[in-house]
Amino acid sequence: MKTIAVIGGTGMNQWPGLVIESSEEVRTPYGLATGPVVRGHINGHPVLFLARHGEGHKIPPHKINYRANLWALKNAGAQQVLAIAAVGAIAEWFAPGEIALPRDLIDYTWGREHTYHDGVPGTELHHIEFTYPYTPSLRQTLFEAAGAADVVVSGAGTMAITQGPRLETPAEIQRLKLDGCDMVGMTGMPEAALAAELGLEYACIAVSVNWAAGIGTGGIHDEIRESIERGMLKVQGTLVRFLAA
Ligand code: HPA
Tens-digit pLDDT profile for residues 38-92: 999 998 999 999 999 998 889 999 999 999 999 999 999 999 999 999 999 999 9
Q: Which atom of ligand 1 is nearest to the CA of 89?
A: 7
> Residue 224: which of 238, 240, 213, 235 has the closest Cα?
213
Determine the distance separating the centroid of ligand 1 and the alpha carbon of 215, expressed in angstroms.
12
Determine the distance separating the centroid of ligand 1 and the alpha carbon of 185, expressed in angstroms.
5
pLDDT at 122 over 80: no
Closest residue to atom 8 of ligand 1, CA basis: 88
Task: Could you list the beta-strand ranges (E) of 120-241.
Answer: 153-154, 158-161, 183-185, 201-211
User: In the structure, which protein residues have their CB atom closer than 6 angstroms to any atom of ligand 1?
Assistant: 86-88, 162, 167-168, 184-186, 209-210, 212
What is the band of 215 on the pLDDT scale with cuts at 50, 70, 90? very high
Determine the distance separating the centroid of ligand 1 and the alpha carbon of 44, expressed in angstroms.
34
Determine the pLDDT at residue 77: 97
